[in-house]
Amino acid sequence: MPAPTLSALFPDARRRRARVIGVVPGSGECARAAVDAGADLMIALNSGMFRTMGLGSVAAYMPYADANEQTERLLGEHILPHARACTLVAGVFGDASEPDVADYLRRLTSRGVRAVAYWPSVGQLEGPVRSALEADGCGLEREIETLRRARAMGFETCAFAFAPDEARRLAASGVDCLVLSLGLTRAIADVDDKRDQVQRAIQSLNAMHASALQGRADVPCLAYGGPLTSPEDLELLFRQSALDGFAGGSVFERLPLLDITGATVRRFKSVAAMRGDGRSGLGDMIGRSPPMLELFKLLQRVAPFDVSVCVEGETGTGKELVATQLHRLSHRAHQPFVTLNCGALPETLLESELFGHEKGAFTGAERRRLGKFELAHRGTMFLDEVASLSPHGQVSLLRALQQREIMRIGGEAMIPVDVRVIAASNENLPDLVARGRFRADLYHRLNQITLDVPPLRERGADLRLLAEEFLGRFEIQLDRPLSGLSDRFWTKLTAHSWPGNIRELQHVLMHAALREDGPLLEGRHFAPATRGASPLPGAAVTAGRSGEAWRSAIARALKDARGNKSRAAAALGVTRRTLYKWLEEIGS
């Protein structure tokens, strides 16, 4: 089967409501593994050759580097033998009106290459080096003109953009695809720093994307590079952006190369395929049951207005998806969407997380760090498990919401912030207010309107939709056919009470896919808890914590975990802090 053209690849993906995954290979091993794992697109750039030597992409500009000759060699020796039905783009450097560049383009045609990207691009450089290249005529205008001449020769074209203005100008020039680059791929060891950098990267990509759409409203755009190095990063990006996909080089090239490249591409592909469709839900939220349709209707009504929203629902129902969709449908959609799990945050770090700190503000503060309020400026902040905030934390948050300004720890100046806050809780906040465990004034600040996310046991009509979505994702991730579920398995699933909601359904289906060999899953190892059983922990939390069923569930979880409170909290679907509060309430 011939490879789809570049101009056909993206419309087809949009029809399937999927995202495109591209790979920039530096070797034949990487190319073969990527194609075997289902990569949609390969981009041959001479920087791939330098990367396999341990050098960065900027090395593609080295004085002794003949970019076109190197790209042609990479194509002939490493990529074309494995390309098969994968859409292919090759780098071209220099003015297409020059005889040697024109000859190179004709040789690409003879090799069956139908699309080119200008590379190396001046956008990845800065300072005196970039100024010198631009003075020598190697600036953005040369890239645009070269791609225009390539189109006149029958090529489809792709361009790399590194800033909003570049994205707008390249899109307006008529390219068939834009790669929005965050620069070199970089692994970040510090979890907090990684989270902050990923959020900033998504904000930068959204800004470039918005600018590109000003240049041409339908231009397909891929993300590339930066701190986006895991499927979890990619899932966050796709939730918070309308980009058409992702392309990566070194993020896919790890040793042992074949195993890691194939597994990583499959995991990225599984995320790219999980989008739902307009007929089965809203954005990434899937559902056609009456409770979900009512939720979608209210969500769309509320999203455009700058009101604080409280999202309530049991653990695993998808409260963060609701918050993400509120952001995507608001006028803040191209601004940051910053999340903070209040339940996972030690009391001593709360103010630093919310407001940031200056270098030297306390032991261990080795550099200035921006807090969540500053990161979310002009955008949206999602506070998950807000009921877990301590009394001191509630006061700090209330003050920031009232004054609409914050001060970093160790700072001297107040910093104005414009943030829409969406809070979520799996505990009943009005009940906590009545019992004096949550401030009434903070509750009213957070809760100008409440969105209730229904539990899975009340969404019978959605069970099959969700199962089919997860099976499609697992089929790609596990690289095996999964045709569906047996009637017996469906009977078990519909009888189950789903205390862990959608997260539990995902776990049950993955467990079956891992333990069974056939394409039709039988669910032989799944024993349902009937609807007559207590649907704890989630439902009991929502309904109010009282009675023997609630106490028994806590005791049972502690017994099963042999007294380990972290394991017991995980089994109950709550944080360890929440479990400690429950134990205090029952006097244990």
Q: 105 and 152 share a domain? A: yes
- Same structural domain, 24 and 166: yes
In the predicted structure, residue 201 carries a pLDDT above the cut 90: yes
418 burial (CB, 10 Å; 0-12 / 13-18 / 19+) is: middle
DSSP 529: P
What distance in Å separates the CA atoms of residue 409 and residue 388, rounded to the nearest whole number?
A: 22
Q: Is the pLDDT at 536 greater than 60, yes or no?
A: no
Would residue 570 count as lying in a domain? yes
| Contact predicate 506/471, CB 8 Å | no
Same domain, 265 and 338: no
Closest to 115 measured CA to CA, from 22, 217, 215: 22
User: Which residue has better confidence, 343 or 357?
Assistant: 357
257 and 318 in a single domain? The answer is no
Total domains present in the chain: 4
Residue 13 resides in a domain? yes
State the helix-helix crossing angle for 257-273 and 231-240, rounded to 10 degrees: 20
Helix (H) or strand (E) holding 49: helix 47-52
Residue reference for tokens 């699309």: 115
CATH number at residue 374: 3.40.50.300
Query: What pLDDT, on the 0 to 100 scale, is given for residue 244?
Result: 94
Whether residue 163 is contained in a domain is answered as: yes
Residue 45 resides in a domain:
yes
My answer on whether 345 and 201 are in the same domain is: no
| 439/326 same-domain check | yes
* Percent of the residues in the chain that have a pLDDT greater than 90, as a whole number: 51
Q: Where are the alpha helices (DSSP H) in 329-383?
A: 350-355, 372-375
d(CA 141, CA 138): 8
Q: Which of 420, 452, 484 is the last residue of a domain?
A: 452
**Does 247 have pLDDT greater than 50?**
yes
User: Which uninterrupted H or E stretch holds 296?
Assistant: helix 290-302
Query: What is the model's pTM?
Result: 0.72
More confident call, 111 vs 59: 111
- Kindly state the tokens that stand for 507: 């776990």
Alpha carbons 32 and 408: distance in angstroms, whole number: 50
Q: Residue 95 pLDDT > 70, yes or no?
A: yes
* Residue-by-residue DSSP string for 186-225: -----HHHHHHHHHHHHHHHHHHHHHHHHH-TT--EEEES
> Are residues 265 and 172 part of one domain?
yes
The pLDDT assigned to 577 comes to 65
- Alpha helices (runs of H) in 308-454, residue ranges in sequence order: 319-328, 350-355, 372-375, 391-403, 429-434, 440-446
- Single out the residue of 253, 263, 272 nearest to residue 479, CA to CA: 263
Answer whether residue 534 is part of any domain: no
Length of the chain measured in residues: 588
Q: Does 540 map to a domain?
A: no
Mean residue pLDDT of the chain comes to: 86
Residue whose pair of structure tokens reads 């969700």 in the numeric block: 466
The range of the structural domain enclosing residue 218 comes to 6-225+238-273
According to the model, what pLDDT value does residue 548 have? 66
* Final residue in a domain of this structure, among 452, 483, 505: 452
The domain that holds 89 is classified in CATH as 3.20.20.70
437 and 294 within one domain: yes
How many CB atoms lie under 10 A from the CB of residue 135?
A: 9
Average pLDDT estimate for 446-451: 93
Return the CATH number at 551: 1.10.10
CATH of the domain at 510: 1.10.8.60
Distance CA 6, CA 20 (A): 11
Q: What is the pLDDT of residue 195?
A: 82
- Please tell me whether residues 353 and 477 are part of one structural domain: no
Q: How far is CA 46 from CA 72, 117, 178, 339, in A?
A: 8, 11, 18, 38
Q: 22 by DSSP, 3-state: which?
A: strand
pLDDT at 63 over 80: no
Q: Which of 434, 452, 470 is the last residue of a domain?
A: 452
User: Is 574 found in the same domain as 471?
Assistant: no
Residues 158 and 185 in one domain: yes
Residues 285, 188 share a domain? no
What does the pLDDT read at residue 565? 74
For residue 507, what pLDDT is reported? 92
- Residue 588 confidence (pLDDT): 62
pLDDT at 522 over 50: yes
Residue 306 belongs to some domain of the structure: yes
Q: Is 187 a domain residue?
A: yes
Max Cα separation, the chain? 85
Identify how many contiguous H helices and E strands the chain contains and give both numbers: 26, 21
